[in-house]
């Protein structure tokens, strides 16, 4: 039996334990991950920048003693800088850009002992819930190569689902960790706003809607990795509430009898039958575990105003990137149609429009927070539809913003947590009749990842998914 046969289905925690016991060497894990990437990436296009020689050199050197010493890792090609390695952010105009420093998050990954073996694909500037950039081509879903893996962290999710590595960095501004976790049948948690510092390059992104974290194979990997990466730095614009104890101690802890509300309601957007089945199935599972479950959802006074505010902030975020390059002389032909369409949309707003949108978000956040005085958890579908065919988000020549409209129909449930800053996770508890994973979306109180981890580990024990593998892994 080869090393690959023995190790390719273990999570990061198990691999790190083998390294600590000296039963396997870091260079063996790195070479094994490289072999799997080389085998599966031609079909998936999940990894766009190999870092093999850097990884091999790191594996042979003195690796920091951390929770994941010697474990191979992949880095989404957006926001987090790795010194000396290209960072394109899914855009053809940045293909030659090479950062000269590590972001604080990358420093923390290195201190945790992780060895980055490559960078994963993302859509241009992370603006879509799919991963089909013109610059690098589409990433395919391991469960069906004709479907999207979700986005914008689709490359990372596809890589973890196909067992290239047990976990990979992602970020989430409107669902970009949870959406691909749902599409690819893996675990994805968006932490509380500001739980992880975005230093040194950013204070926040899109008014605090964007968050850093990862997509993982197991719940315990997610908890231990968040322990290794959480924390703010002096000068950060705000800090997340302190935690009572390490997140890894919540894994396996008794969650008690939680008050769980569930809902598949949206405002004017139809929800696919499979997604409704998935949330009802998750609700029954929670009830069977002894939790108090009932159908309910937050009473938001003006949902359409929230959608408008989110659009203003999202467009402004896109424009803040594009405008820098426009000042350098670049124009419409240098960007994808949706990116340019969002930029032009943002140019029709003024500073007052943006601040009004921010205040609308804050008002809605308080309305949602009051719901969590009654309930511990809100359960919804992660997405309004199963993984869609590739090309579903392509802009049309007469309306480049139709991709944005389509996005709202697909991911109707995730953005609210980016607006409120609450932690939320997508769990792979259900597969439809076509063999596609459909995520269940659990939302916790602001600052309360602990309850999510306790519930997640209970659900993982009740309905484990680690042995559910895409056909590509057979």
Catalytic residue among 8, 76, 110, 119: 76
Is 176 a catalytic site residue? yes
Q: Is 208 left (phi over 0), alpha (psi -120 to 50) or beta?
A: left
Nearest CA to 207 out of 174, 247, 253 is that of: 174
Backbone torsions φ then ψ of 139, nearest 5 degrees: -85, 140
Helix (H) or strand (E) holding 412: none
Q: Which residues is 74 bridged to in the sheet?
A: 118, 168
* Rounded Cα–Cα distance for residues 219 and 458 (Å): 10
- First CA to last CA across the chain, in angstroms? 15
The encoded tokens of residue 458 equal 């209970």
152 preceded by a cis bond (ω within 30 of 0): yes
Nearest CA to 199 out of 126, 107, 109 is that of: 107
Helix (H) or strand (E) holding 32: helix 26-44
Catalytic residue among 88, 103, 152, 264: 152
Integer angstrom CA distances of residue 117 from 28, 38, 200, 288, 296? 13, 12, 23, 41, 44
Is 76 a catalytic site residue? yes
Is 55 within 8 Å of 164 (Cβ atoms)? no
Catalytic residue among 81, 88, 162, 176: 176
Is 152 a catalytic site residue? yes
* Rounded Cα–Cα distance for residues 421 and 262 (Å): 19
Is 132 within 8 Å of 146 (Cβ atoms)? no
- How far is Cα of residue 290 from the mean position of the Cα atoms in its chain? 29
Catalytic positions are 76, 152, 176
């Amino acid at each position: 039996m080869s090393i690959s046969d023995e190790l390719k289905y273990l999570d990061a925690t198990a691999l790190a334990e083998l390294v600590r016991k000296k039963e396997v060497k870091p260079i063996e894990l790195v070479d094994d991950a490289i072999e799997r990437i080389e085998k599966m990436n031609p079909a998936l296009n999940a990894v766009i920048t190999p870092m093999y020689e850097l990884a091999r050199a790191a594996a042979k050197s003195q690796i920091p003693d951390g929770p994941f010493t010697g474990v191979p890792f992949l880095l989404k090609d957006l926001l987090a800088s790795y010194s000396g390695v290209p960072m394109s952010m899914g855009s053809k105009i940045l293909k030659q850009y090479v950062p000269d420093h590590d972001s604080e998050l990358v420093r923390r990954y290195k201190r945790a002992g992780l060895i980055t073996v490559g960078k994963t694909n993302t859509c241009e500037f992370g603006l879509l819930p799919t991963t089909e950039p013109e610059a690098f081509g589409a990433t395919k879903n391991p469960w069906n190569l004709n479907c999207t893996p979700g986005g914008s962290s689709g490359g990372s999710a596809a890589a973890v689902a196909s067992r290239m590595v047990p976990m990979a960095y992602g970020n989430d501004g409107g669902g970009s960790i949870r959406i691909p976790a749902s599409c690819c049948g893996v675990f994805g948690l968006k932490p509380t706003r500001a739980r992880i510092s975005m230093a040194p390059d950013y204070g926040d992104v899109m008014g605090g809607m964007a968050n850093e974290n990862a997509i993982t194979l197991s719940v315990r990997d997610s908890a231990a990795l968040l322990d290794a990466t959480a924390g703010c730095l002096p000068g950060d614009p705000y800090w997340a509430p302190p935690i009572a104890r390490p997140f890894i101690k919540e894994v396996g802890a008794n969650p008690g009898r939680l008050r769980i509300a569930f809902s598949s309601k949206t405002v004017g957007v139809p929800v696919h039958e499979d997604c409704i089945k998935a949330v009802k199935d998750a609700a029954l599972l929670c009830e069977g575990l002894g939790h108090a479950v009932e159908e309910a959802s937050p009473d938001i006074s003006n949902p359409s105003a929230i959608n408008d505010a989110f659009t203003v902030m999202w467009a402004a975020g896109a424009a803040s990137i594009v405008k820098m390059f426009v000042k350098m002389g670049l124009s419409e032909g240098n960007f994808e149609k949706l990116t340019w369409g969002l930029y032009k949309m943002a140019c029709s707003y003024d500073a007052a429009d943006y601040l009004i949108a921010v205040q609308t978000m804050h008002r809605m956040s308080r309305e949602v927070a009051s719901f969590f005085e009654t309930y511990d958890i809100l359960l919804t579908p992660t997405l309004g539809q199963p993984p869609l065919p590739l090309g579903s988000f392509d802009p049309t020549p007469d309306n480049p913003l139709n991709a944005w409209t389509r996005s709202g129909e697909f991911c109707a449930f995730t953005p609210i947590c980016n607006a409120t800053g609450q932690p939320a996770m997508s769990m792979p508890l259900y597969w439809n009749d076509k063999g596609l994973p459909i995520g269940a979306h659990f939302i916790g109180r602001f600052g309360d990842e602990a309850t999510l981890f306790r519930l997640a580990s209970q659900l993982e024990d009740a309905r484990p998914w680690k042995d559910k593998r895409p056909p590509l892994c057979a």
